[in-house]
A and B are shown apart, each in its own frame.
Chain A
Amino acid sequence: MTSSLRLRAGLVSIVLLAAFLGIWHLATRSAGTAATMSPEYAKLMGLTATQGKSAMPGPLDVGVKLWEHLRRPFYDNGPNDKGLGIQLAYSIARVGTGYLLAVLVAIPLGFLIGMSPLLSKALDPFIQVLKPISPLAWMPLALYTIKDSSISAIFVIFICSIWPMLLNTVFGVASVRKEWINVARTLEVGTVRRAFTVILPAAAPTILTGMRISIGIAWLVIVAAEMLVGGTGIGYFVWNEWNNLSITNVIIAILLIGIVGMLLDQILARFTRMVTFPE
C-alpha cells in the first residue's frame, strides 16, 4: 500500500516537473521576429535585440550551462572568479561557523533562562525586541564596528540563528513535565545531573526543532549577506552574474541554493528523529 503510494507520488512529481519544464521552454522560445537592422548595427547588438530572443533563458540553456559548471566545479581564475564548488564551500563554511557559535551561546543560555523563571521574565523584553530585527539590518552596524567584512557576515549569521534556538531551548526546558523533575528531586539528584539526565533528553526534541529552524534562516540570510559584502560565496556568485545580466547562471545558483538548503534541513531532521521519544 505505502509503496504504491510512494510510486504514485513519484509519478505525479515527475509529471509536474515535465509540465513545468515544458511550459518554461514554450514561454521562453525565441519569438522569431528578428528586427530589421543593418548588419553593421546588428553586429554590435545582443541576441535579445537582434533575434528577438527572450531575455529569459530556456531550460535547455540552463541545462547546458549547469553541465559546464558541474564539469569543473573547483576552478580558480583569480580572486573574483572561482568555481561553483568553491563558492558553495565558502558559504557553507560561513554558515557553519556562525551557526556553531550561535549553538554554543544559545543552548547554555536557553537552559539558564528556562530553568530560572526570574531570568526568563527579566530577559523576555530584550529577546522580544531583538528577535524580529532583520539580520541584514545588523550589517552596516557590524561592518562599522567589526571592520572586517567576512567576520561581519559570520556575525550576521550568528545573530539571525540565535533567536529561534534560544526561544525553543527556553520553551523546551521550561515545559519539561513537572512530575519528572519532582521525581528527580525526591531521588535527590543534583542540579547539574538533573539538567543533563532529565531536562536535556526531555527538551532535546524542542531544542533540535529550534536548531532546524535556525539553519534554514541562516542559509536564507547568507545569500543576501554575501550579495551585500561580496568577495566569495554563492551570494557573491549570484551578484556577479547578475552584474553581467546572466540570468542563466542566476537560475543555476538558485537551484543549487535550494538543494544545499534542503540537505542542511534534512541533516537536522535526521538528528531530530534520533532524539524524539514516544511519551
Chain B
Amino acid sequence: MSTFDDPFDADRSLQSGCVCGQHRSAGEHEQAALALRCEPVESEEKRYQGVVAATVMRAMFPQDVARRAFLKSVGASTALAALSQFFPLQTATEVFAQAGAPEKKDLKVGFIPITCATPIIMAAPMGFYARHGLNVEVVKTAGWAVIRDKTINKEYDAAHMLAPMPIAISLGLGANAIPFAVPAIENINGQGIVLATKHKDKRDPKDWKGMKFAIPFDYSMHNYLLRYYLAEHGLDPDTDVQLRSVPPPEMVANLRADNIDGFLAPDNICQRAIYDGVGFMHLLSKEIWDGHPCCSFAASREFITTAPNSFAALTRAIVDATAFASKAENRKQIAEAIAPANYINAPVTVLEQVLTGTYADGLGGVKTDAKRVDFDPFPWQSFAVWMLTQMKRWGQIKGDVDYKAVAEQVYLATDTKKLMTEMGLSPPATAYKSFAVMGKNFDPAKPEDYVASFKIRKSS
C-alpha cells in the first residue's frame, strides 16, 4: 500500500480503530481534528500547521483526558482560533517548515533522463527545492557509470541512482567501496519488457531462447527482474539468452536496427519504442512484482555527515515532490513540466502516457493502468534485502553477506520515517515487509533460504 493512499479509501483496512491508527475510534479521530496530521491535507502549509498546532496543543494539555474534554466542549476550530490568539502559530509553522538552516544552499543533483527521476526533476521547475530553502541545479548525466563517478567525485551532492547501485557502491561492487545511503525511493513500478514488433507472436518466454535483451545496468532492478522473469519460465539468463548493458537512449535505436530483440527498460524508453513504432509492450514490470522499487535518491555518507541540514532539506523536498507525483490528478501537469529539452527531452505525449497510465500498447490497443508507474518514497529495508538476495543469486556477491546490516546501513528507513512524521505524513511502522514476486513470497527474515530456493542461479 502506498504511503499516500487516501485514508478514506473504503478498501483500506481500519483494524486499529481510525484511519490513521492512532485513535481508538473513528469518533475520537474526528475529535482530534486539530491534530491534522491524520487527515489528508490539501496543502503543505496546512500539513505543517497541523503538526505545529498538535504539538502546542499537547504542550498545553499534557493530560490527554483534559485535552479531549477541552476539545469536546469548545470544538476543534474554536480551539485552534483561541490557540492562535496567544501563540504565533503562523510564525512557528514557518520556522518549523524551514527546520535547521542548510549548511550548503547551492546543490547539484545528477539525473538520468527517464521518468523514474520524475520527483528529482520536477522538484526544480515546480519549486519544491526552493520551498525548502535550497537552490538546486539538476544536471542531466550520460549514464549510470558516469553518475556514479560524478557523485563519488563530489561533483554532485546527491544523485538519482538505480535502487541497487548505492548498495553495490557501499559494498564495493564495480567500484571502490564508499558508504552511500538512500533516504528515499523515487518510483515504484514504471518499467516494462518491450519486444521488437516482429516478435509479436512470441509471447511465451519459453520461445525466447537465443534472443538478445538489453538492460540499463548490471546493478539494476531491471537486470534482476528480467533474470527473475526468465528463470521463472525455465530459461537460464546466463546461458539461454544474451543480456547486454545498454544505455537507455540507445535501446530504441538498437531495437530499430535489429541489434536486440527486446529490453527491460525504464519508462519513457519503453513508450518511446512504441511511439516510434518499433516495438510493443509485452509486460509491465508491475505484472512481475507490483510495487517494486526502481530508482532511488542517493547521497554519500560523507555528504550526510558534513551537511546534515542540507541533506534533510533535500530529502524533504524529494518526499514532498514524490507525494505530489503520487496523485493521479497532478500527473499531466508534471508531464508538461519535465518534457522540455532542459529535463527529460521527450515528446509530451510519451510522458503523459507513462505517467497517466493510459497508453498505446504497440499492437493497436489502448490500455489503462493507473498504477503503471507510482511514487512512494519510503525506503523499505526489505527491498534492499531482496536486491542483495538477487546479487547473491546471480553471483555479483561472492561469499557471505549480512543482509540486514547492509540494508539498514544503506536504506535510511528510520531517518526517513522521522522526517515524514515531522512533515505530517504517515510512514509505515516497520521497515520490513514481505511481498510476492510472480506469486512467490519473499520473507525478508530468511534471505538465505530464499536464495537457496531458486533452481536456476549461478552456481558458485
Contact = CB atoms under 8 A, between A and B. Distances in A.
B275 A37 contact: no
Interface in A27-66: 37-38, 40-41, 43-46, 48-49, 55
Contacts of A229: 142, 146
A239 B360 contact: no
B277 A48 contact: yes
A149 B345 contact: no
B360 A41 contact: yes
B276 interface: yes
Given A44-B360, A143-B153, A80 B343 contact: yes
A49 B275 contact: yes
Contact of B249 (A38, A228, A243): A243
Interface string A71-106: 000000111110000000000000000000000000
Contact of A38 (B138, B252, B276, B364): B364
A49 B275 CA distance: 7
Nearest to B353: A44
A242 B249 contact: yes
A68 interface: no
Query: How big is chain A's contact interface, by range?
Result: 20 to 34
Contacts of A240: 140, 341, 345
B63 to A, nearest CB: 54
A46 B350 CA distance: 9
B364 A243 contact: no
Contacts of A176: none
A40 B353 CA distance: 13
A239 B341 contact: no
A231 interface: yes
A74 to B, nearest CB: 15
Contacts of B360: 41, 44-45
B349 interface: yes
Interface residues of B, number: 38
Given A37-B364, A48-B277, A79 B137 contact: yes
B364 A41 contact: yes
B196 to A, nearest CB: 14
Contacts of B345: 80-81, 240-241, 243-244
Contact of B252 (A40, A44, A245): A245
B150 interface: yes
Given A44-B360, A46-B275, A55 B341 contact: no
B149 interface: yes
B162 interface: no
A198 B249 CA distance: 56
Contact of A77 (B113, B146, B340): B340
B6 interface: no
Nearest to A147: B153
B139 A228 contact: no
B153 A49 contact: no
A148 to B, nearest CB: 7
A230 interface: yes
Contacts of B272: 245
Contact of B139 (A43, A55, A77, A80): A80
B342 A79 contact: yes
A143 B149 contact: yes
A20 interface: no
B371 interface: no
Interface string B343-362: 10111010001000011100
A48 B276 contact: yes
A257 interface: no
Contacts of A112: none
B155 A148 contact: yes
Contact of A81 (B154, B256, B340, B364): B340
Contact of A55 (B274, B276, B340): B276
7 contacts: A46-B349, A48-B277, A55-B256, A80-B343, A81-B342, A144-B149, A230-B140
3 closest A-B pairs by CB: A49-B277, A81-B342, A44-B360
Given A41-B366, A44-B359, A230-B139, 8 more contacts: A43-B349, A79-B139, A143-B149, A149-B155, A230-B141, A243-B345, A245-B252, A245-B253
Interface of B: 113, 137-142, 146, 149-150, 153-155, 249-250, 252-253, 256, 272, 274-277, 340-343, 345-347, 349, 353, 358-360, 364-366
